[in-house]
Amino acid sequence: MKVSQNWLKSLVEINSTPEDLSEKLSIGGFEVESLENCSKNVNGVVLGKVLSVLKHKGSDKLSICQVDIGNSENLQIICGASNIKSNIYVYVATVGTKLNAVNLTIKRSEIRGVLSEGMICSLQELGLEEYSEGIAIIEEDLALNHKLGTPGSSLLQLDDFIYDLAITANRPDGMSVIGIAREISALLESKLNFPELNHKYDINFLKEIQLCPEALTSNCLYTITCINGVNGKKLSPKWIKDRIEKSGIKSINLLVDITNYILLEQGQPLHAFDKDKLTNLIGKEVIPNDFSVRKANDNESLLCLDGKNYDLNENITVITCCDNPIAIAGVIGGLETSVTNTTSSIYLEGAVFNPVTIRKSSREIGLRTESSSRYEKGISSKNTIGAVTRAINLLEEYYPINLPIINTSNLINNEDVFIKLRRKRIHKILGPLIINDKLEKRNLSDTEIVDKLILIGCTLKNKEYGWDVAVIPNRSQDLVREIDLIEEIARLIGYDRFDLNLPNPIKPGKLSPDQLALKMVKSSFIENGFNEVLSYSLVPEDKESLIKISNPLLFETSCLRDNIWEEHLKIVNRNIKSGQKSCYVFEVGNVFYKNSELIQKEILNGAIYGNKKFGEWVNSGKDSDLNYYEARGKLKEALSSLNIKVDDKPTNSINFLHPGRTAKLFIEGKEAGYFGEIHPKLILDKTAIKKVYLFSINVANLLGASTRKNKWIPIYKQYPIVPKMERDINFIFSKEHLISEITSEIRKGGKNLLEDVNLIDVFEDNNIGEDYISYTFRLSYRDKDKTLLDSDIKSIHSKIVSNVEKRFNTKLR
């Protein structure tokens, strides 16, 4: 939102510098993104009078001018303009002036042997016009009101500053100059001087008008007013043109400029339709009930004011006249019914639409306008009649119009809605005010509270508990609760003026076991060389099983992801392309599924590529990929901090992983995820560039197992003071049996004396068969009270061997 300081000064008393005001506005919530000095392009340019003009002997086009700028001596200036003559008033750029528009610094110089001490300027050279024919000649009446040597900025009305404000969504009042002026009044505690409205027009209730219930809800409004006796050829007075152009809107003619002026001043979008063009469109005299608001049809289109023809659909709301689309509601008007030089009568539309429908229409056609941005933030329908009245008041000043009737779809209830504001609540929330540099503290007084609320336009009724507060319409969007009013009081007084107001006693927070465990496992991954990444949870719609979001901004972000591994694979590919020899990443994030209901699941996902080593001399500078067991070991190391056992069971059911190098992961007997090498077909079709290992673990299973009391709280045991006894056993097993199954069977028969079981040797040979393999296990026995003898473990050991032989149909070697 751009607004000039001179415009603001006409509405509010400003008693600070532009720089100080910018800082106060930014601290108050209206961030000033830039402050532009309008006179910067004419600094050093002054009012001068050409006393005489002589032809330059060395040129047919140049003239030697004597110019008076109010100094004791006249300036001699060489000028090449064809319209130069004596006894005219001109803009003179003195020596040292920099003309930014033409990137020229004025110097004292000789032109064809004659000294020139300045430059007589055109409006183009001053940056005020795109093209000028000759120098700018100042009207004599204007010039005589100023002394020679007066800065050109005064004559050009450029003694002004333009504030460019970033208005947040919760402060729609900042989208109007009146709203900004009221904010300045509250910050500076200065007086307001708003224009008075002459409410002399009759208001007619339209009973039969057809309105879309989605676009105009109960708190919305549609008005249409017929105004005869206007003239589309009439241009705007300089003050209107100056104000709207400094706000970034191009001046067109008085009719259009007044609608834009009201948009800026009041924050209420208006639109003018040419009455005669509407009559030609529908083939009869237009009446207010001919207008309607509806959803567009799929086969309709509309040529709009920007010269583009937009295809319409049911997501777009349109204004119609006898069911003919004439505007896209709240966004842009149609070209066929627009105001032009031939316009003599208009229908003036002022409305408040549902912000959701305007946002949908704007997104569908890919266009955001000054009007749509205000509707999207939300405006109050209580201001609409006043804004239309203000527009008609201005039209009456320049056109001989008769008193029009304002036709409205709804009679707005202007009764105040009061918010209960409790004194004790203010003191409890804000705490004491610091006085005399912390030497004294006190609560806010009633006078301070009332004064601040009155500054922002509130009306207060005294109550025993405090006040009942009514908020002005343009703040009704953000001041709706008691806490909103308390926050506003604190903002205006200054947050830095309040003392600390912490709860007593302070109860320190702490992380839950689940949070601590997750933090621990993340740290463990990082310590083991992994990098934590964060990928986007929104993905394009490339398969039907994905969950679609209801209001996507782009096709690329229209669905919720159902996996993370695809994004991790892309990350690895980018690292490989950039020359990285290894890439270990992990992420804790959510994936989403839909069965009979929507499911959200948190998973620990990651990818492992390459071999991280401190030096390349180990492999003579050659790349060496990790094998399956080395990569699985990296994951085991990273999970070791949680004191849980993760079992692997081979699988070939995961279609994007290698069928012979993939395992499902089990925690406490429950399937918790997978680990495996990328499928070779994905390398062939370039989805993966090189061999990558992927893993995924359900976070709920991981944290549930690691935070059980017997795992989470360490149990310390006495260090054994007696030796252990070890026995090795060797069997030939079918390859279909898993190591975990065999060790589990061994532990069952070991009772209390079997301390540990470890696989110490694996042997394969054609002599024992292609489908068989030899495993050697080392069993450790220990009794905590005594040194074991062979006789103590003989029966237990024999039972273990017998159980293994029966269960797996094998024999001890």
Tens of pLDDT, residues 650-707:
999 999 999 989 999 999 989 999 999 999 999 999 889 999 999 999 999 999 999 9
Closest listed residue to residue 385, CA positions, set 270, 483, 492: 270
pLDDT level of residue 749 (50, 70, 90 thresholds): confident
Please provide the average confidence, as pLDDT, over all residues in the chain: 91
d(CA 689, CA 682): 8
Provide the Cα torsion 584, 590, 591, 592; round to 10°.
-170
Say what angle helices 254-266 and 370-377 make with each other, to 10 degrees: 30
The share of the chain scoring above pLDDT 70, in percent, equals 98
Q: Is the pLDDT of residue 198 over 60?
A: yes
pLDDT level of residue 75 (50, 70, 90 thresholds): very high
**Sequence-ordered list of residues with C-beta below 8 angstroms from that of 736, at least 6 positions apart, any chain:** 771
Closest listed residue to residue 1, CA positions, set 473, 373, 472, 475: 373
d(CA 344, CA 354): 32
Q: Where are the alpha helices (DSSP H) in 511-605?
A: 513-527, 565-577
Report phi then psi at 227, rounded to 5.
-130, 115
Please give the pLDDT value at position 616. 64
Closest listed residue to residue 394, CA positions, set 484, 518, 270, 542: 270
Tens of pLDDT, residues 260-292:
999 999 999 999 999 999 999 999 999 999 999
Please give the pLDDT value at position 369. 94
Tens of pLDDT, residues 796-811:
999 999 999 999 999 8
Residue for token pair 């692997």: 648
Instruction: Give the residue, 415 or 117, on which the prediction is more confident.
Output: 117
Helix (H, G, I), strand (E, B) or coil at 790: helix
Find residue 674's DSSP bridge partners. Answer: 664, 696
d(CA 421, CA 479): 12
Identify whether 680 is preceded by a cis peptide bond (ω within 30 of 0): no
Find residue 759's DSSP bridge partners. Answer: 777
Q: Is the pLDDT of residue 621 over 60?
A: no
Q: Is the pLDDT of residue 326 over 80?
A: yes
Q: Is the pLDDT of residue 164 over 90?
A: yes
d(CA 671, CA 351): 60
Q: How far apart are the first and last CA of the chain?
A: 88
d(CA 733, CA 736): 8
Strand stretches in 540-692, DSSP E:
547-548, 559-560, 582-594, 598-610, 646-650, 657-667, 670-678
Q: Is the pLDDT of residue 619 over 70?
A: no
Find residue 392's DSSP bridge partners. Answer: none
pLDDT level of residue 635 (50, 70, 90 thresholds): very high
Q: Which of 174-178, 498-502, 629-633 has the lowest mean pLDDT?
A: 498-502
pLDDT level of residue 159 (50, 70, 90 thresholds): confident
d(CA 661, CA 693): 10
pLDDT level of residue 620 (50, 70, 90 thresholds): low
Q: What is the CA radius of gyration of the chain?
A: 41
Please give the pLDDT value at position 587. 96
Residue for token pair 């024992």: 768
- 461 backbone φψ class: left, alpha, beta (φ>0; ψ -120 to 50): beta
Dig out the tokens for 579 from the structure.
Answer: 């020359």
d(CA 797, CA 726): 11
